[in-house]
């Protein structure tokens, strides 16, 4: 397992490097000169030159690229073009809010979606199956921001139970949780729909396999067949989709953060996009890529744990 | 595909009630939006301050917004943007992805390695984030939306198509075509493409709904079609500011997104059940 872990970690490094290179290229494709965005329209040529030099934009592209990689390795993300504050500090403030939201939503989705999917697979083609399938497909057809709108309407405006805006007072754990309910419910419902569908279809695949029929035929009790034989074999696929959807979740968190006014990565990237704050955009994209690569790594590692055969490939 | 198979597929489709509901729902939405100029609707853009925030009534079935504009009319007109962007982005992503996947899978070697690495990395970024980035690069507007979303999801089609090509490439008829001296281009487009197109189309059908959501999300953020042209995402956003006394603006425009997307999703799901050989067995 240790050799496998090390091999997987080493394989993530070139992916991260390609991601960094692509971000570098993509961000430079965005039109609009960042220097004029910082200084506004009334600016002399000379002060533009000075700022360009400060930002390292006067260097040849290849040198900019080298410097960019070097700074990344040192953990120096530069300063925001708009506020002048170190981007790393802004990221440090924003990241916990995004992670907190993503993690709780994933948890809600897993706790509800996976058991529901197993249940539907066992009740294949029954009334419950049709109902569950319809609701999970309906869940996928809601834009996350619309789920948020409906939840706000019900829980904040009609029932006046939950807050709509912000993340709560720092240090007050219950206030934070109170503010987290609606956003994480928004994404949790989405996640639940995804996971219900995938767990159902994976379980159906496995339940049709020969070894399950054998297990039934040799007289094993139903519970054992389902939980020990079927679920164990289905779990590799479930973990795969869990990894994929965790990535999707990170993307959907952008909308949720904006609606609920949570100062996370999503709010930060949209804000910097409107201000053309190159350096911040660059860093947030890097963080997003790093998160997804990290999720993929965890997914790969859990394969190895679940299915020992994979370790020896 | 011969006549019998076609008959069989049509029969399976007609038995799939959910798929038919989806098809009918999507067709109703599409035709209503196409017919918008001919329907007896109030102007979706003209403002009338005396009609602000009227609740749903016979004159205004879905109420009016903060500028006194009829919400039903804006929902129908706004649908035109969503449908056009949804369908054309998928077509663009399909075309781009299929070409990349075809070349990459057929040629193999370092071309394949390089393209798949890039595809892997592009798939690392959430679609919405890529969409935001491309929108920022291209500026707002309908064409930009189509290109931005199309490019953002093309890697997924490339990955799928390449996988399918790898399977088809092993077949004897490809070897036969090659030994007859056919050009690579001809083999790729005349012999391999028809065999992978089914997979690509199913995936396309499944993505239309997701793209309509992406488009709505981009307009929600303010990166969609510029005002005053109505678009669903922005209507939900604008309605959010006066949710307290005029819930109908947000709720009904969001409802339009939901109905359209579930229509396309039901249809796409049914199409997959019918055409996916793995599920058919």
pLDDT in tens, B211-237: 999 889 888 888 878 877 888 888 888
**Structure pTM?**
0.84
**Mean pLDDT, chain A, whole residue set:** 81
The Cβ-side half-sphere exposure at A48, using a 13 Å CA radius, reads: 11
Largest CA distance in chain A: 86
3-state secondary structure of B91: helix
Q: How close B258 comes to chain A (CA, Å)?
A: 5
- A288 and chain B in contact, CB less than 8 A: yes
Q: What is the model's pLDDT at position B95?
A: 94
Buried b (16+ CB within 10 A) or exposed e, A121-160: bbeeeeeebeebbeebbebbbbbbbbbbbbbbbebbeeee
Give the closest-approach CA distance of A43 to chain B in angstroms.
Answer: 24
What ipTM does the predicted assembly reach? 0.82
Give the per-residue pLDDT at A36: 60
Count CB pairs under 8 A between chains A and B.
Answer: 126
Tokens standing for residue B226:
């510029």
Omega before A25 within 30 of 0, i.e. cis: no
Are the beta carbons of A285 and B137 separated by less than 8 Å?
Answer: no
Residues of B with CB under 8 A from a CB of A: 18, 117-118, 120-122, 124-129, 132-133, 136-137, 139, 209, 213, 216-217, 220-223, 233, 236-237, 239-240, 243-244, 247, 250-251, 254-255, 257-258, 261-262, 265-266, 269
pLDDT of residue A116: 92
Q: What are phi and psi of A228, to 5 degrees?
A: -90, -45
**Can you tell me the distance from the alpha carbon of B42 to that of B49, in angstroms, rounded to the nearest whole number?**
14
Is residue A24 scored above 60 in pLDDT?
Answer: yes
Question: A79 has which bridge partners?
Answer: A86
Nearest-CA distance from B197 to chain A in Å? 24
pLDDT on residue A74: 83
pLDDT for B116? 84
Q: Is the pLDDT of residue A7 over 90?
A: no
Q: Closest partner residue to A19 among B121, B126, B127, by Cβ?
A: B121
Nearest CB partner across the interface for B126, out of A30, A143, A251 = A251
**pLDDT score for B89:** 92
A197: which chain B residues are within 8 Å (Cβ-Cβ)?
none
Q: Which residues of chain B have pLDDT under 50?
A: 279-281
Chain B touched by A244 (CB under 8 Å): no
Rg for chain A (alpha carbons), in Å?
A: 24
Dist CA A230 CA A243 (whole Å): 20
Of the candidates A31, A254, A296, the beta carbon closest to that of B128 is on A254
Q: Are A242 and A305 in contact (CB under 8 A)?
A: no
**CA of A282 to nearest chain B CA: how many angstroms apart?**
10
A153 interfacial to chain B (CB closer than 8 Å): yes
Question: How far is the alpha carbon of B126 from chain A, nearest alpha carbon, in Å?
Answer: 5
CB contact under 8 A, A31 and B137: yes
């Amino acid at each position: 397992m240790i050799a496998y872990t090390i091999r997987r970690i080493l394989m993530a490094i070139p992916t991260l490097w390609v991601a960094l290179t692509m971000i570098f290229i993509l961000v430079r494709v965005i039109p609009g000169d960042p220097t004029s965005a910082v200084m506004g329209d009334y600016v002399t040529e000379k002060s533009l030159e000075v700022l360009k030099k400060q930002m390292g934009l006067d260097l040849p592209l290849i040198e900019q690229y080298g410097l960019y990689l070097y700074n990344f390795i040192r953990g120096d993300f530069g300063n925001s073009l708009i506020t002048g504050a170190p981007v790393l500090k802004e990221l440090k403030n924003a990241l916990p809010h995004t992670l907190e939201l993503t993690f709780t939503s994933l948890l809600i989705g897993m706790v509800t979606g996976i058991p529901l999917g197993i249940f539907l697979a066992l009740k294949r083609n029954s009334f419950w199956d049709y109902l569950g399938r319809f609701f999970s497909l309906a869940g996928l057809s809601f834009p996350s921001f619309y789920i948020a709108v409906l939840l706000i309407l019900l829980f904040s405006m009609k029932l006046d139970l939950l807050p709509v805006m912000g993340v709560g007072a720092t240090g007050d754990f219950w206030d934070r949780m109170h503010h987290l309910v609606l956003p994480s419910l928004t994404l949790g419902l989405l996640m639940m729909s995804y996971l219900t569908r995938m767990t159902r279809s994976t379980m159906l695949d496995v339940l049709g396999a020969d070894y399950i029929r054998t297990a039934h035929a040799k007289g094993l009790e139903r519970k054992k067949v389902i939980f020990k034989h079927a679920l164990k074999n289905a779990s590799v696929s479930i973990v795969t989709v869990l990894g994929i959807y965790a990535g999707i979740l990170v993307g959907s968190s952008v909308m949720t953060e904006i609606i609920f006014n949570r100062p996370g990565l999503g709010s930060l990237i949209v804000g910097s996009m409107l201000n053309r704050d190159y350096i911040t955009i660059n860093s947030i994209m890097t963080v997003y890529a790093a998160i997804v690569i990290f999720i993929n790594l965890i997914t790969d590692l859990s394969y190895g744990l679940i299915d020992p055969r994979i370790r020896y490939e | 595909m011969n006549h019998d198979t076609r008959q069989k597929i049509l029969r399976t489709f007609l038995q799939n009630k959910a798929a038919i509901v989806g098809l009918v729902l999507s067709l109703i939405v599409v035709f209503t939006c196409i017919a918008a100029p001919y329907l007896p609707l109030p102007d979706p853009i003209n403002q009338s301050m005396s009609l602000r925030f009227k609740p749903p009534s016979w004159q205004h079935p879905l109420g009016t917004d903060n500028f006194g504009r009829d919400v039903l009319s804006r929902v129908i007109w706004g649908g035109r943007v969503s449908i056009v962007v949804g369908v054309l982005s998928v077509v663009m992503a399909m075309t781009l992805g299929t070409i990349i996947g075809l070349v990459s899978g057929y040629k193999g070697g370092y071309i394949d390695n390089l393209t798949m690495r890039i595809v892997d990395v592009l798939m690392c970024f959430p679609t919405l984030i890529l969409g935001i980035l491309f929108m920022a690069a291209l500026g707002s507007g309908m064409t930009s939306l189509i290109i931005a979303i199309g490019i953002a999801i093309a890697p997924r089609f490339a990955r799928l198509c390449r996988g399918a090509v790898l399977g088809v490439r092993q077949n004897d008829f490809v070897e036969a075509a090659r030994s007859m001296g056919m050009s690579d281009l001809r083999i790729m487009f005349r012999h391999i493409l028809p065999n992978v197109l089914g997979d690509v189309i199913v995936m396309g059908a499944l993505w239309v709904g997701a793209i309509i959501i992406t488009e709505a999300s981009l307009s929600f953020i303010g990166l969609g079609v510029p005002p005053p042209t109505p678009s669903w995402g922005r209507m939900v956003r604008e309605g959010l500011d006066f949710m307290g006394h005029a819930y109908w603006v947000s709720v009904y425009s969001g409802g339009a997104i939901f109905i359209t997307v579930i229509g396309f999703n039901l249809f796409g799901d049914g199409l997959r059940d019918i055409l996916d050989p793995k599920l058919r067995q």
